Every structure is written in structure tokens, then in C-alpha cells.
Structure 1
Amino acid sequence: MTENPNSVRTTTSVLVIGGGYAGVMAANRLTSRPGVTVTLINPRPDFVHRVRLHQLVGGSDDAVVAYEDVLAAGVRLVTDTVTRIDPAGRGVTLAAGDPLAYDYLVYAVGSGTADPGVPGAAEFARPISTLEEARRLRTALDAEPVTAPVTVVGAGPTGLETAAELAEAGRPVTLVCGGVLGPYLHPRARRSVAKHLARLGVTVVEGTDAKVTAVTRDAVRLADGRELPSRVTVWTAGFAVPDLAVRSGLTTDALGRLLTDETLTSVDDPRIVAAGDSAAPSGLPLRMSCQSALPQGARAADTVLSRLAGERPGELHQSYYAQCVSLGRAAGVFQLADRADVAIGFHVDGRLGARFKEIACTSIHQQLVGEARKPGSYRLHHLPGGAAKRRQLLRAARADRADQDQASAAR
């Protein structure tokens, strides 16, 4: 059979860079439209369940899921690293494989550990934001006796969960907050967390002087002159994003997140959309979390699908309702929040809090599997609750930029 010379190619190629929560959600959802070929590019052959990395460190979970369990059957997985995006040529360069072309690209490269900028930290402190880092930390802990002092730097969710996990395993743990314990939490929930950490034997160091100024092989030095013994120092303070967008000449915010409009479309190229930790919609990025990544992944896919259908893409609106923090295997805190992601005075703690946290972790996996089996079934990104607050934030940001422009002009 000969091909009709007047026929028009109907297949659309979409590349998804990054196989985390946002990337997998986007890839699965894109398979809902016939004629779309989806390729997911990720440096690892397995899916990392990032919200369980602290459990990997504590020895209660391996934090890895086979991609075949969470990816739609129609998604092609390429295990490689993208070194550069060529928007003009609509292609990407890979570290090991041949270049790949695309019609649309989903940028979902996630985040990693920020440079601490503290003397000795890069050499002696151990981050935990990636699978490889968590495994190296686990190896370092296994090499030390259970009585060896451990210091966890950073009192956000990752720091709280890691400190509690290690203390529950019988290790002497000091948590250096660099400020307040659990800054996101309402004071009531914060008191509950402090009590539980105390029961586990965690020493909590708070206050403006509780900032790390140096890390050595055997100690952590604080701004007030104290020196804390530490055979293993865990660094959980701060996240950064890969510089792929910057290296590719795309417009980013100050941290390197791809700058997009409210449909998650790059301000440089309508063929590129972004989702997750590496996206900065309207210069007002959402909280780095799986709670943001899954809806953004679905929204990014919908933007591509809308353009393919000749429709106007919908805009981002994000509802938050809670943050879950595990405190070992037997306790946790489920902190409720308003739709602007501000903690309110109600929380659930103890064993029920741990149960809620486990439900949240399990539901992430279930939502990805559900979208893989029935693309287009995920609906949480359509909830209207966050739209009004998002518009309010955008107006405030625009007014602030206008004031700054006027001030600059006056000078």
C-alpha cells in the first residue's frame, strides 16, 4: 500500500522531562487523546516515592515503585538525562542517547537540595532530597553505632520526619531549627510536635541563634558559639531546582524555575509547559510539594490537550487543605489549612495523625495508578476553591511590580 501524498500527519509527539509526581501525572493524562505519543524521560529506571524518603533513611520503606505500576501502558520510558532543550528546533539533547524531537514538551524536572552555603556543609553534611542522597545517608548511618550522635538541620516537614524516624529507631538526635520548629504549623500543632519529639528523646534547638555556621566531621557549630557533637549530620534546609531551563535559554525566576503564565505555558514558547517544583506560574510559584505537583501535572497535560483540540486552555487554581507530617511510625500531625495554604487552629495528632499521613502517602500512589488506568479521571485540579485567592495574589503582585517600576522611573 502506498501512502497518500496528500495525507496529513496526525500523530503528535509529547516529551515529558522528569518522572516525579507532576511528570507521571502529566504523562498518564496525555494518553487520553488518540494520536498522541508520550515519552517520559527520567534519569532513573524506577519511580521515587519522595514522600517516603525519610522512611528509607529510617529503614521502614525503600521509597521506590516500579514505573510499570504507575505509568500508563502507552507511555514510553527513556532512562536518560536531558542536557539541553532546543525550543527553536523542538528537540532535546540527551546525555547518553540520541536527540529526541517533540511537538510539545512538559517541563517537570522537580527539585533537589540547595547549596547550604555553610562552611563544611557540602563536605560533611548529608542531604536527603533525592533517592541517591537518601541511600548514601542510610549507608552512613549503618556505618555508625546506634549510640552515635545525629544532628538534623532544618525543621520543616522533612527535618521533623527524619528526626522522628531516627529517634524512634533509638538514635540520639538533635534537631537544629534555624528559627522556629515547624514554621508552617499553627502554634497548637507546633506544641504537639514538640511534645512528641521530646517523648522520642529528640533535643530541639530553636531560636535566632540556632543557625548553623559550620559543619565538621564530628560537630555542628551554631551562631551563638555552641558546638554540637555530630557523627552524622543530615541537611534538610532548602531546595533548589535543576538549571536545565537556564542552560536552554528559557526565561526563569531568580531560583531557576521556568516562568509560565497561568495556563502553565512558558512565556517564551507555547509548545512548552511546566509543572511541579520547577514551575513558576506568573512568577508566583506554589509550595513545593506533592500536593501541588499532582494538580499541576494534570493542568499542564490539559493545556497541551486543549491546544491540540483548538480550545483555550484553563488557568491554574490550587486549593490547599492540610499538611501531613509523620513523627515516626506511631504518630503524626495532620495540620488543616485554609484555601490560601495558611495553617488554622485545628489539627489531628497522635496515632490518628499518623493514620492520616499514611492515607495521604497511599493516596498519591492510588491517584497516579488511577490516572494510568483511566486517563482523564483525575479531577482535583478542577476544584474551584483556590481560584479567588490566586486572582487576589496576582493582583497584589502586579500592583507591587507597578510600584517598583514607578519608583525606579522616579530615580
Structure 2
Amino acid sequence: MTGNTDVVVIGGGYSGVMAANRLSLRDDVTVTLINPRATFVERIRLHQLVGGSHEAVVDYREVLAERVRLVVDTVARIDAAGRSVALTGGDTVGYDYLVYAVGSGSADPGVPGAAEFAYPLASLEEAQRLRAVVDAAPASAAVTVVGAGPTGIETAAELAEEGRAVTLVCGGVLGPYLHPRGRRSVAERMAELGVTVLDGPGTKVTAVTRHAVRLEDGRELPSNVTVWTAGFGVPDLAARSGLSTDSLGRLLTDETLTSVDDARIVAAGDSAAPSDLPLRMSCQAAMPLGARAADTVLSRMAGEQPQTLNQAFAGQCISLGRRAGIFQFAHRHDVALWFHIDGRPGAKLKEFVCKGIIKHLADEAHKPGSYGLHRISGGAKRRQLLEARRGEAPATAESAA
């Protein structure tokens, strides 16, 4: 390809910023990042915003390469045939390549009363709204957190450490990802903080009212503030634009993260479904996927075959208030090991990880191409899963360029 190449990145989260920064490696590439907010959101700190210990935002000047043009707007539709995106503000932006990194957000709870009376926690605006509600509630107000994944655990611990009366409703297992040893450690910390943990059969929420939460086993829990952290959804932009998606609405791609419909569209982060076998929604996956997506675009520009996905995981890091945390180590293919670091060292490690993520983005902004964690081998497990599901290795998308 000769002349200047225009690349549009939709979404300014962990994967989108990583991809945009990496794409600025070439002087003949113009990168436009389209994001609905003018500031970068540290999504992994939103529970801290609710607890009042962090604002969870960073100026884009700290993490975005100078050569990347930031457009504060929302994409209403992708015109793949015309290679352009229509913005809600009325403008149209053309592209030669598109990186689809719209991320994830709150899912429809599908539980009577939840949408009306529960407070989700997957975006900056939702966290700010919840913080205001918590601040306005009496100190003795009953707080119920629904969902026992990392967000639910972290939010429950953060609020309990501030003296709130918190009940964590698991709907099943506490910390499903965790090894039993790690789970016991989290349960012990929750007990220290005074959090009432309801797990096991019968703890799924069946209804939410203004002042209560009802469980499958018939119990009704008083709840002045109900926080909903169970499940995530993705924007329907891809489906709305006529692109192939999985059942949750993630863009279907091959193993190079290229859309199965169009070789000019590449996906990254929570909104990508490579080979219909998506990775765990997480910041840990988002940044390597962003780097991989950028490398795919750069390879296609150079007339080279892009490399395939090769994702490695380290584990799961969860804060348990400001004074404790846990780092649950895992196999490279994302299955928890017996080994973990908890307590005060776990809290320090969690904070190190949070700061390190911003440093990775800033380093890539200042020196595009320097990030290399996406090249660490995740082993043969993914290939085995793909072969078991399809009976053959996935083919790459090579639709007309």
C-alpha cells in the first residue's frame, strides 16, 4: 500500500489506546481514536471511585501518543462497504482500516426490578452515580452487592472497609475463577470486614425492589442500596452495522482478530470473539489484544500474513479494600493454580499492577512498538480447544481488501 493510510480506532479503553499508540509507529499512518469521553477511564478502579479512594480517570495526554487524533463522539454505525463510520454528532469519518475496540458494559439483568432499583457498575457514569447514592445513604443503610466476580468482591470489600453494612450475594460460588485455597482466603478477608457472604444453592436473585432483594430460596434481604455487578454485555454496534457477531454481540473474527466479513476490520478487547472462542473479559486480555490487532493491521499494510492470537494469562488480581488483596496465579491458559499471594502483600501487588497498566500504555505512547507481552506464548491449549470444536484449525479471513 502506498501513500497515507487512515486507521480509525473505535473505543478509548485499554485495548483501543494500546492499538492506537502502536499504530502510530508508522509515519504514513494517520490514527483517529473515537471515544465518547475526553478522559481515559481506569475501569479496574471503578470500585475505588465508589468507595471514595480514587477518581478512576487519567488524562489522555498521559497515555495517548501525540500523533493520535482524539475525537470525542460516539459511533452510530459502521459502513463497511463505504469504509466509513457515522458519528452521533453528525460527522462521518473515513478509514482504510478499522479497529473495533468498543469494550463491554453492564448487561440487562433480566431480573424483575433490577433495572429500576439496582445500580450497575461497569462505566464511569454508573460508578459516579452509585458513589453519589452511597454518599447520600445513612451510615447504617443496608448495602447489597449482587455478583461475586472480581467487581462484586472488590466493591463489597471497599464499602465494608468504609464502615458500611454489606451483604454479598453470590448467586453461586464466591469468586468462581479462584482456586479453592484462594477462595478461602477471600472468604476470610470478607469475614474480617464484616461482609455477609451468601453463596451456594438458592442465592440467585429473583427480584429487586426499592428496599429489598429476593432470593431463589425465598429469602428477602433488606437493601437500601443494591449494587448489580453480575454479568457484562457489549454494545450492539457491530450487529447494528450488519457485521457477524457471536450470541453476546461480540464481533466474530479469525485468529488474527480480523473480522470474518471484512479484512479491513480488526477487533480487540472485550468486544472481540476470535474463532467464536473469546477470551475472558479483562484488562489482562484487552491490552495484548489491542497490540495484536495493531500488529495485524501493520502486517496487512506491509503485505505480510498477520500472526495469530497467542494469549498468555498470569491469573486474577483482586483488591479487598485498601489494606488487603489477592493475586491468584494461573496456568498460561487461564486456569487457577493453588498458589496465591494475599493480605497486605496482595494489596501492594494489586496496586503495582494497576499502576503498571497505565505505565504500559504510556510507554507505548512514547515508544510505539515497545510493548511485547502479547508475544508471550499461551501454550497449545487454545489450539487444542479450537481443533476439538471445529475438527480443524481456523481459517483466516481474507475478504477483498
Instruction: Calculate the TM-score normalised by the size of structure 1.
Output: 0.94
- The size of the alignment, in residue pairs, is 394
Distance (Å, rounded) in 1 between the aligned partners of 2:116 and 2:281: 26
Preserved CA contact (<8 Å) 1:266 1:274: yes
Match of 2:383 among 375, 391, 403: 391
Match of 1:76 in 2: 69
1:295 aligns with 2:249: no
Larger radius of gyration: 1
| 1:76 counterpart SS class | strand
Match of 1:43 in 2: 36
Match of 1:15 in 2: 8
Match of 1:65 in 2: 58
Q: Which amino acid aligns with 1:196?
A: R
Trace 1:34-183 onto structure 2 (pairs within 5 A): 34-183=27-176
How much has 1:400 moved relative to structure 2?
10
1:254 aligns with 2:250: no
Preserved CA contact (<8 Å) 2:333 2:379: no
Q: Deviations over 1:365-406 (max 9, x none)?
A: 00000000000000001112x1412211111111499xxxxx
How much has 1:97 moved relative to structure 2?
3.8
Match of 1:284 in 2: 277
Preserved CA contact (<8 Å) 1:316 1:387: no
Root mean square deviation, CA, Å: 1.3
Distance (Å, rounded) in 2 between the aligned partners of 1:83 and 1:35: 28
Q: Deviations over 1:128-184 (max 9, x none)?
A: 000000000001111111110000000000000000000000000000000011110
Distance 1:169-1:390 versus aligned 2 partners, 3 A rule: same
Distance (Å, rounded) in 2 between the aligned partners of 1:22 and 1:293: 5
Match of 2:367 among 374, 382, 394: 374
Preserved CA contact (<8 Å) 1:107 1:275: yes
> Which 10-residue stretch deviates more, 107-116 or 8-17?
8-17
Match of 1:406 in 2: none
Match of 1:362 in 2: 355
How much has 1:98 moved relative to structure 2?
1.1
Extract unaligned runs of 5+ from structure 1.
1-7, 402-411
Distance (Å, rounded) in 1 between the aligned partners of 2:86 and 2:391: 40
Match of 2:191 among 173, 193, 198: 198
Match of 2:396 in 1: none
Match of 1:407 in 2: none
How much has 1:33 moved relative to structure 2?
0.9
| 2:227 counterpart SS class | strand
Extract unaligned runs of 5+ from structure 2.
394-401
Q: Deviations over 1:182-202 (max 9, x none)?
A: 110000110110011001000
Preserved CA contact (<8 Å) 2:257 2:274: yes
Match of 2:230 in 1: 237
Preserved CA contact (<8 Å) 2:169 2:203: yes
How much has 1:273 moved relative to structure 2?
0.1
Trace 1:209-248 onto structure 2 (pairs within 5 A): 209-248=202-241
Match of 1:409 in 2: none
Q: Deviations over 1:345-365 (max 9, x none)?
A: 111100000111111111100
Distance (Å, rounded) in 1 between the aligned partners of 2:156 and 2:388: 38
1:348 aligns with 2:336: no
Q: Which amino acid aligns with 2:16?
A: G
How much has 1:9 moved relative to structure 2?
6.1
Q: Which amino acid aligns with 2:173?
A: V
Q: Which amino acid aligns with 1:394?
A: L
Distance (Å, rounded) in 1 between the aligned partners of 2:328 and 2:75: 37
Distance (Å, rounded) in 2 between the aligned partners of 1:400 and 1:281: 15
Distance (Å, rounded) in 1 between the aligned partners of 2:160 and 2:296: 45
Distance (Å, rounded) in 2 between the aligned partners of 1:97 and 1:73: 25
| 1:266 counterpart SS class | coil
Distance (Å, rounded) in 2 between the aligned partners of 1:67 and 1:192: 37
Distance (Å, rounded) in 1 between the aligned partners of 2:328 and 2:6: 41
